[in-house]
Homo-oligomer: A and B are copies of this chain.
């Protein structure tokens, strides 16, 4: 399973029963949380997200609608006696903000919390089955996008053929990487004859609050599923520019230029009481667009 569930799709002021930004990515048996607006832990209850499964949290930037729910989530994890390590990645002031609130409440965490300051474009998580890279977004304050990529060996074992060729199981990992096998008598068994190509590794990119910015394209090229904010409809490019946000047309253009497989749009301004126009406008440029409806899970 590799999928993303939308917990909040509204910008700034919660309204129209839409909530501030939060998304959970499920990959293998782990949950990664992307942003954590106020009320995210209540959304966990509503959509049956198991907070104990969260291993990583990524905070794009320190505007409140992207992280004001974080301290409450951490506190609840403490009350629920979490024991597993928790790693949070975000802008450098995040650690101090969390720590002074824990201190003021006299909370002693029963688990190890590490808050990593993001300072540059790089791979920030390197797990067995996936990686997470961060890259800069163009917002009013320091802001980061994230891309989560499956790790996959290029080839899969063709079991019938490896058994017939008497290749020992201990060599399977090398085969998956594409290496040939040389038998005891010196014969080369060509990799392609005993393996089959693996499916292309999938990826999910989260482009948090950002102005239209083609410099992110290099980081999200060929992404399987792209989330890009669309705070405004296409008739508001000046407002989007001025407030460091994007329009439907701009998000769809980024998806097109990045050669994304699918696009999710969200972070709708509170000025819009309905959101169907967002979908219609984006689809004109990028047909594979979906609305970030709260509670919806998109398989990647």
Interface residues of A (CB under 8 A from B): 12-15, 17, 19, 38-39, 41-42, 45, 62-65, 68-69, 71-72, 75-76, 79-80, 91, 93-94, 96-97, 100-101, 103-106, 140-141
Question: Measured between C-beta atoms, what is the minimum distance from A124 to chain B in Å?
Answer: 20
Q: Are A80 and B13 in contact (CB under 8 A)?
A: yes
Q: Are A14 and B38 in contact (CB under 8 A)?
A: no
| Partner of A64 from B45, B75, B100 at Cβ < 8 Å | B75
Q: Are B93 and A97 in contact (CB under 8 A)?
A: no
Taking CB atoms, residues of chain B closer than 8 Å to A91 are 104
CB-CB nearest in chain B for A11: B79
Which 6 A-B pairs have CB atoms at the shortest separation, nearest pair first? A62-B104, A38-B72, A93-B104, A39-B39, A64-B75, A68-B72
| Partner of A62 from B38, B45, B105 at Cβ < 8 Å | B105
| 17 CB < 8 A contacts A-B | A14-B45, A17-B45, A19-B42, A38-B41, A38-B68, A38-B69, A62-B105, A63-B105, A64-B105, A65-B75, A68-B71, A68-B72, A68-B101, A96-B100, A97-B100, A97-B101, A106-B140
Contacts A14-B42, A38-B69, A62-B101 known; list 9 others, CB within 8 Å. A13-B76, A38-B42, A39-B39, A39-B42, A68-B75, A96-B100, A100-B100, A104-B141, A105-B141
CB-CB nearest in chain B for A96: B100
**CA A41 – CA B91 in complex, angstroms?**
25
Known contacts A72-B64, A105-B141: A79-B12 contact under CB 8 Å? yes
Taking CB atoms, residues of chain B closer than 8 Å to A76 are 12-14
Of A17, A68, A140, A141, which is in contact with the most chain B CB atoms at under 10 Å from its CB?
A68
Question: Measured between C-beta atoms, what is the minimum distance from A155 to chain B in Å?
Answer: 47
**CA A80 – CA B13 in complex, angstroms?**
9
Question: Measured between C-beta atoms, what is the minimum distance from A181 to chain B in Å?
Answer: 55
Q: Are B69 and A41 in contact (CB under 8 A)?
A: no
Taking CB atoms, residues of chain B closer than 8 Å to A94 are 104
CB-CB nearest in chain B for A38: B72
**CA A13 – CA B100 in complex, angstroms?**
20
Taking CB atoms, residues of chain B closer than 8 Å to A69 are 38
Taking CB atoms, residues of chain B closer than 8 Å to A62 are 101, 104-105
Q: Are B141 and A106 in contact (CB under 8 A)?
A: yes
Taking CB atoms, residues of chain B closer than 8 Å to A104 are 62, 91, 93-94, 97, 141
